[in-house]
Amino acid sequence: MSDRLRLGLNIDHVATIRNARGGAHPDPARAAAMAAEAGADGLTIHLREDRRHIRDGDLDAIRLASTLPINLEMAATEEMCAIATAFKPHAACIVPEKREERTTEGGLDVAGQHNQIAPIVRALAEAGSRVSLFIEPDPVQIAVSEVLGAPVVELHTGKYAELWLEGGQVAAADELENIKIAAREARSRGLEPHAGHGLTFDNVKPIAAIAEIAELNIGHFLIGEAIFTGLPAAIQHMRSLMDEARQEQAA
Ligand code: PXP
């Protein structure tokens, strides 16, 4: 369980910067091409309903640019399901999506939206994608995820990251505990836990040290940091913090 923790690099914000000018630069496919050598194990992209991040044409361009597995984040809508089942990403992560939000706020309510989500999970699985559900670290959401037949749950670390910003590790301690309990609960139900949202060089190690977690998906901070140090250096440093956390936890 404490094998190498995978790093999924979310490259949406390369596209966000490109889209600010409407042209072709910076190209998310170029970021995709650099990711593996720098230490990323996968690419995460979110095709939003309003296309504010990647656009439809980026899907094939990103796939052509890298051999890394693609994790496509998507809303539980018919439009996205049709695109994802045609594109057949390695993994498809269903996320809640509201037009007006700045980023994915809160986890998916799989318990409340079971009937809407169930056929989409089935369709994605039939298309060959590994389905993941982006949920709060909450035992009820995990139990329903198992019933829905998704092999993966991605635990939302947004609240943990916000608390860390407000008061550091002490302020985030209770939420860290919730994430640990949720990761254990997911494993005990045969689900593979991933985690992500708001992770940074400062707050990543306690999450990376949770042995049950198999993958972290990190975007905004790394793309922001890339402005100052370059993308490979930002990825490499995150990679080394994650590996250190795993080694310290195993020692
Ligand atoms: N995982 C999921 C499911 C997300 O929606 C996001 C944000 O797009 C992330 C991870 C990455 O979050 P951040 O950009 O804050 O690192």
Q: What is the pLDDT of residues 6-50, one digit of tens each?
A: 999 999 999 999 999 999 999 999 999 999 999 999 999 999 999
pLDDT band for 105, please (50, 70, 90 cuts): confident
Asked if 236 and 38 touch (Cβ cutoff 8 Å), the reply is: yes
DSSP state for residue 111 in the 8-state scheme: T
Beta-bridge mates of residue 196: 156, 217
- Residue 1's pLDDT is 53
Of the residues 13, 50, 73, which should be mutated to test ligand 1's pocket, given the most ligand atoms within 8 Å of the CB? 73
The atom of ligand 1 lying closest to the CA of 10 is 11
Of the residues 6, 10, 54, which should be mutated to test ligand 1's pocket, given the most ligand atoms within 8 Å of the CB? 10
Ligand 1, atom 7, residue with closest C-alpha: 197
The atom of ligand 1 lying closest to the CA of 217 is 10
CA distance 13 to 186: 30
Asked if 93 and 154 touch (Cβ cutoff 8 Å), the reply is: yes
Intra-chain end-to-end CA distance of the chain, in Å:
14
Ligand 1, atom 11, residue with closest C-alpha: 197
Ligand 1, atom 6, residue with closest C-alpha: 197
Distance 205 CA to ligand 1 centre (A): 17
Active site members: 46, 73, 197
Of the residues 7, 14, 197, 204, which should be mutated to test ligand 1's pocket, given the most ligand atoms within 8 Å of the CB? 197
CA dihedral over 202, 251, 157, 12, signed as positive or negative: positive
Architecture of the domain made up of 6-250: Alpha-Beta Barrel (3.20)
Beta-bridge mates of residue 132: 93, 152
Q: What is the mean pLDDT of residues 167-195?
A: 98
Question: Where in the chain are the domains?
Answer: 6-250
Which residue type sits at 48?
R
- Residue 251's pLDDT is 85
| pLDDT above 80: residue 104 | no
DSSP state for residue 24 in the 8-state scheme: S
The atom of ligand 1 lying closest to the CA of 222 is 16
